[in-house]
A = this chain, B = another copy of it.
Amino acid sequence: MQNLTLKPARKERLADTVYGQILDGITSGRFASGDKLPSEAELSLSFAVSRPVVREALLRLTTDGLIQSKRGIGTFVSTQPSSRLTELANTSELSSYLRSFEPRIVLEVEAARLAALRRTRADLDRAHAAIEALRSAIASGERGQEQDIEFHDAVARAAGNDYFCDLLNDLRQPVTETMNIGLELARERSPGRRLRIIEEHTRILDAITAEDSDAAASYMKYHLIQARAAVLDVRHLENSQALDGAQRSTN
């Protein structure tokens, strides 16, 4: 970015580090799902950082759905992400990467809405080709990350406003990092989840094709909330494993 002189303040970087260390504790099972976390004061002591830093880290872990605080009782682990997460990502940077979803979601949802109103035939063809390429990539056992990005670019382009493309370009690094994790976890584990990603893309494109701007916006938002949840396996993620099992048993 032009003049990206804004570096996160020291407090914010410290909070990212503390976030990463608590996340490591959760991923490794030291703090298991349902466990009560140490108090703010105890965490402040054991990480040797100030309480505002700990509070900031806990707030972000809450926002990301990993922990939940119960008024007057304490803070509990609500989700245990895949143990592979620590291999796929630098946990002290994960908090920062996940924050990119906040602007990304509003930008891509608005782009999908506008795309439904303005798309040309060429836009639809390009988005469709990106979905087919993703399908092939996944069928060949690849992650399909380039094809995934190509689809999102095609939607932004279809919005008929270059600023959307430029701004999403500026988010390229955190988008790529989080996409890698989500696609890799899907690749390793769940055929259901992989088919869902293709299906989610298809629904977005169908709504854009049908010029249904409200549905296009809603499907894009759904897709990105799922994508964010997939990075950390938080519970309201589409329960693909269960569904895989259920469907198998109906066959």
A interface residue numbers (CB < 8 A to B): 1-4, 6, 8, 12, 59, 65, 68, 78, 99-100, 102-103, 106-107, 109-110, 114, 118, 159, 161-167, 169-172, 174, 191-192, 195, 199, 202-203, 206-207, 210-212, 214-215, 218-219, 221-222, 225, 229, 234-236, 238-239, 243-244, 246-248, 250-251
Contacts and interface: CB of A to CB of B under 8 A. Distances in A.
Contacts of A239: 199, 202
A200 to B, nearest CB: 9
Given A199-B238, A222-B218, A247-B247, A163 B171 contact: yes
Pairs A-B, 10 closest by C-beta atoms: A206-B236, A106-B106, A222-B222, A106-B110, A207-B236, A103-B163, A99-B161, A203-B236, A191-B250, A6-B165
Nearest to A59: B118
Contacts of A102: 110, 114, 159, 161, 163-164
Contacts of A100: 163
Given A170-B166, A246-B195, A218 B221 contact: yes
Contacts of A59: 118
Contact of A1 (B1, B78, B202, B207): B1
A242 to B, nearest CB: 8
Nearest to A78: B210
A2 B236 CA distance: 35
B236 A170 contact: no
Contact of A251 (B172, B195, B206, B251): B251
Contact of A234 (B107, B210, B243): B210
Nearest to A7: B162
A80 B210 CA distance: 14
Nearest to A165: B6
Given A102-B163, A211-B68, A206 B192 contact: no
A111 to B, nearest CB: 8
A195 B250 CA distance: 11
